[in-house]
Amino acid sequence: MDAITSVLRRCEIFSGLSDADLSLIAKAARRREVPAGTCLFRQGEARTGATVIAEGRVEISRDNGEGAEPVVILGPGDVAGEQSFLAVSMHTATGHALTPAVLLDLDREAVLGSLGQDGAAAIAVLSKVANVLHQRLLYSATPRTGREQAYASGRTRRETDLIGPLEVPEDALFGVQTLRAVHNFPITGVPTSHFPAMIRALAMVKQGAARANAKLGLLDAPIAEAIDRACQEIIDGHWHGHFPTDMVQGGAGTSTNMNANEVIANRALELLGHARGEYAFCHPNDHVNLGQSTNDVYPTALRLSTIFMLKNLLEAMNRLKAALHAKGREFSDVIKMGRTQLQDAVPMTLGQEFEAYAVTTGEDIQRLQETARFFLEVNMGGTAIGTGICADPRYPQLVVEELCRVTGLDIVLAENLVEATPDTGAFVMFSGVVKRAAVKLSKLCNDLRLLSSGPRCGFGEINLPPMQPGSSIMPGKVNPVIPEVVNQVAFQVIGNDLTITLAAEAGQLQLNVMEPILAYSLATSMRNLTAAVNVLTTKCIVGITANRERCLDLVEHSIGIVTAVMPAIGYKRATEVAKEALETGLPVRELILRKGYLTPAECDEAFSLEAMTQPRPLR
């Protein structure tokens, strides 16, 4: 029982409770050991209680319809499902053991039954749980955090910077410079926490820097270890709600860098046994930012976060490519008319049309992968302007080596740090490729809208899955809403690319101060494009069906099929047949037979699916 009580005391939701209160909870706990890979609970299942991680690591992931997405990694002292003590609910995520783990299962009914023996204990425990959940909501990593979050607590601590003192919320991991940025830049309402990849990238940079400085003997081991642990917690998905700085800000990203420095320093202080704000023991600048400047940290983090976000975009595009290939195979025998300049051209198969979409999607995947390699070159150790002031001469190469280990990427140090510090050329190039993918995706959606137009008075060659009623006044109308929304995302990506180009051009001398709007624009483009591709695949492409009879009828009544017999009857005769078919409305085949230009067998051969949709010998 003492061992269980000791584990519970490490949990945030039970900290500060009396031994008597903890013993009531411990009575209801059931210890179990699980191997790596064990599913602890599944999204959508009923919560029967909470799970305390005593040893090991547990990954929490959530499926929003496009596959499981990691949310956070829990370790010793963390609890999953504690809200079940307050109300019966369903699991909103899935938990898997990443390593062998020792768990304490706290059944809801058993815990409440045990607490029912002591009313005061029940109030103390449930109040603590409610307060912890309340704090998490205040600092949740959502777009709603920001200026209002900075005033969420009535208790404050006083911190001072160059400008003067400010009262910082006592329960905030961020400090005075972050709060000042919240005051100064209420611009988009989109905080850094809206982009978890950016926060993880910042933590990886700080972790690599701390390890490099520790190896150089510039950081005392306990401080370096605490900074390392704090960074790992952020990488694992914790504390993201304490990054409220707006994505768009003045200062070339200094506010975001200091936000990371302050959160890491304050969390490190807690791990060292000190209170938040006691910077004499671990300082945001002197320790967390040692050997660094915003001007090498921020662009490096931006490069890393772009690589991380690209992974999701590429996965989405690969799923789209596979779905388009599948439709290409499904529609391989559906004959239809091809069109150029919106006029009848020559026959093709619907399968060929969809295979072409799949191939062009694959080309965009390759271009994105190729261009992203430019982000592996970083300017860490250049500090303010690339000269390396305030950094040990051994530090640049060492921090890059540590970054390679932390990220698993083949990161290299730029050849000339003075050149690399203001250079944003890689972002211009990559954004252009993202725009290219968006433009081609938008063209695909234009085609889908045309091909599905109707249902009676349009092309009507394919059917898109009906997603919602299309009109508040026209009964029965269904619109191509999924291609429409993808078009709109593409328009935004195109606009963001122009913003990125202008931001890159606006750099001056040894720094480009416009990187925050560049970061926001590129991250927004990638996040929205990823969502758009996922929606297009799951809610449109996989459900498309072909109107075979409609496609065949259009081919048989098209003048364009005369091109198929042009090698046999000559251009002049073919032109005469086309003109007469247009004037009389008679089918091309019938006119050719009437004029005796070809026999029925020769017509059958010329107008066969194979002859009209692929090359064949002319003689």
If DSSP codes are grouped into helix, strand and coil, which group holds residue 546? strand
Neighbouring residues of 505: CB distance < 8 A, sequence distance ≥ 6: none
Structure letter (DSSP) for residue 218: -
Tell me the three-class secondary structure of 464-529, residue by residue.
CCCCCECCCCCCCCECCHHHHHHHHHHHHHHHHHHHHHHHHHCCECCECCCHHHHHHHHHHHHHHH
The total of other beta-carbon atoms located within 10 Å of residue 116's CB is 11
Q: Which of 471, 472, 558, 608 is catalytic?
A: 471
| Side chain identity at residue 186, one-letter code | P
471 carries an active-site annotation: yes
Is-contact 554 531, C-beta < 8 A?
Answer: no
Instruction: Give dist(CA 63, CA 96) in Å, integer.
Output: 13
Alpha helix (H) residue ranges in 284-349: 294-330
Instruction: Give dist(CA 414, CA 424) in Å, integer.
Output: 13
| Side chain identity at residue 170, one-letter code | E
The upper half-sphere exposure of residue 158, i.e. CA atoms within 13 Å in the direction of its Cβ, equals 2
Instruction: Give dist(CA 438, CA 455) in Å, integer.
Output: 28
Tokens of 610: 């194979």
- Report the candidate in 599, 563, 559 with the shortest Cα–Cα distance to residue 583: 559
Is-contact 354 324, C-beta < 8 A?
Answer: yes
Structure letter (DSSP) for residue 280: T
Instruction: Give dist(CA 96, CA 77) in Å, integer.
Output: 16
CA distances from 106 to 352, 375, 485, 534 (A): 58, 46, 45, 37
Q: What is the largest CA-CA distance in the chain?
A: 104
Neighbouring residues of 378: CB distance < 8 A, sequence distance ≥ 6: 296, 299, 300, 303, 400, 403, 411, 412, 413, 414, 420
Strand order in the sheet with 101-107: 29-34, 101-107, 49-55, 79-80
Q: Which residues pair with 104 in a beta bridge?
A: 31, 52
Pairing verdict, β 68-74 and 156-160? unpaired
Tell me the three-class secondary structure of 17-82, residue by residue.
CCHHHHHHHHHHEEEEEECCCCEEECCCCECCEEEEEEECCEEEEEECCCCEEEEEEECCCCEECH
Residues involved in catalysis: 471
